[in-house]
């Protein structure tokens, strides 16, 4: 634990905090991305772990390590870290839809998030990704998107609070809902991120998706066109592209140390985006990954973490990040 005494002026305090920061991991460094999933039970009745309940998902993540496209810069492993009982009780009490199954899943899910964030802040990796089956599988949360969003909001809020206690130089964190489900995702629990040092950015609602990006170009240029670099093909005037350009501007203004991305919680969501969002061909998680890579590199020194309940979303997001 570090204490900055009152005798230090603001300049000296800044020097102290800077000395505690870890060095930035090069985007080309080996094992620059870490993928984690919880090892403990995610099923209330059968006591299954992620590896037994979702073998295809786990195999897919492990196979990414040998994917030629990522050049050996990915490590995927099971996380055995569990959070303390007192903290888990706090998380469970904050859920809008608490379930008996969530009691079982919280220690390992929160432990997985905390472990990923610690690896990131220790400078061991440049980016982290967490697959949390507890957010997606009906056997745990009765197939309810609202219940899954409630659990994730609570997990993230507590994990980020712990992070800022453990790392004094982490003050600002941006949380972006990339799920494309409007107010059915994390936005339904935005009060969990009601903190001046947490910037919560919502997923675009259908009413926004049809709007034009006209009038935003000058502002995007001023911010370095962070989102423009990841523009989807054929979607130059799409409302979704305009929305993510706006998110990039807000991240630029906020200047966070970490970018947190919540991905689709529906394995078919990427193919269904075009129904509600006119993006001239749709926007998949790889496009969102490119957006996150550009924005995090520009404003967060590349530090980012992505969370999803499905391996496909993480895999697609990673393709964009790499």
Other C-beta atoms closer than 10 Å to the C-beta of 172 total 16
- pLDDT class for 114, splitting at 50, 70, 90? very high
Q: Which two tokens stand for residue 119?
A: 């690896």
At 189, give phi and psi (nearest 5°): -130, 35
3-state secondary structure at position 263: coil
Q: Give CA–CA dist 95/90, Å, rounded.
A: 9
Q: Give CA–CA dist 118/67, Å, rounded.
A: 26
Gap between the terminal Cα atoms of the chain: 35
Greatest mean pLDDT range, 124-128, 230-234, 255-259, 262-266: 255-259
Question: Average per-residue pLDDT in the chain?
Answer: 73
Q: What are 243-264's pLDDT values in tens digits?
A: 889 999 999 999 999 999 998 6
Q: Give CA–CA dist 232/240, Å, rounded.
A: 10
Q: Give CA–CA dist 89/106, Å, rounded.
A: 9
Report field, pTM of the whole predicted structure over 0.85: no
Output the pLDDT for position 267: 55
Q: What are 151-176's pLDDT values in tens digits?
A: 888 889 999 998 999 999 999 999 99
The answer regarding whether domain 28-321 maps to CATH 3.40.800 reads yes
Q: What are 30-71's pLDDT values in tens digits?
A: 568 999 988 866 555 555 666 666 778 888 888 888 888 777
Question: What is the domain partition of the chain in residue ranges?
Answer: 28-321
């Amino acid at each position: 634990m570090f204490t900055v005494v009152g005798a230090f002026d603001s300049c000296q305090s800044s020097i102290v905090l800077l000395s505690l920061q870890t060095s930035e991991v090069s985007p080309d460094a080996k094992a620059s991305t870490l993928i984690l999933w919880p090892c403990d039970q995610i099923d209330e009745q059968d006591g299954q772990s992620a590896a037994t309940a979702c073998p295809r998902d786990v195999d897919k993540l492990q196979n990414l390590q040998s994917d030629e496209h990522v050049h050996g810069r990915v490590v995927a492993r099971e996380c055995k870290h569990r959070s303390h009982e007192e903290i888990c009780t706090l998380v469970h009490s904050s859920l809008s839809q608490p379930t008996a199954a969530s009691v079982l899943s919280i220690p390992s899910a929160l432990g997985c998030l905390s472990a990923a964030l610690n690896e990131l802040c220790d400078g061991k990796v440049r980016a982290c990704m967490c697959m949390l089956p507890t957010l997606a599988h009906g056997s745990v949360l009765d197939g309810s998107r609202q219940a899954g969003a409630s659990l994730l909001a609570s997990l993230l809020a507590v994990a980020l609070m712990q992070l800022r206690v453990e790392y004094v130089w982490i003050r600002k964190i941006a949380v972006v809902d990339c799920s494309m489900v409007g107010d059915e995702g994390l936005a339904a629990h935005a009060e969990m991120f009601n903190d001046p040092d947490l910037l919560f950015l919502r997923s675009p609602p259908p009413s926004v998706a049809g709007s034009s990006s006209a009038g935003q170009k000058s502002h995007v240029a001023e911010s370095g066109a962070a989102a423009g670099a990841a523009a989807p093909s054929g979607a130059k005037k799409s409302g979704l592209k305009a929305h993510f350009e706006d998110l990039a501007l807000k991240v630029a203004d906020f200047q966070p140390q970490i970018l947190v991305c919540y991905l689709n919680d529906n394995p078919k969501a990427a193919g269904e985006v075009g129904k509600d969002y006119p993006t001239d061909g749709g926007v998949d998680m790889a496009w969102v990954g490119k957006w996150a890579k550009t924005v995090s590199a520009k404003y967060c020194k590349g530090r980012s973490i992505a969370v999803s309940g499905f391996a496909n979303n993480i895999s697609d997001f990673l393709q964009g990040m790499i």
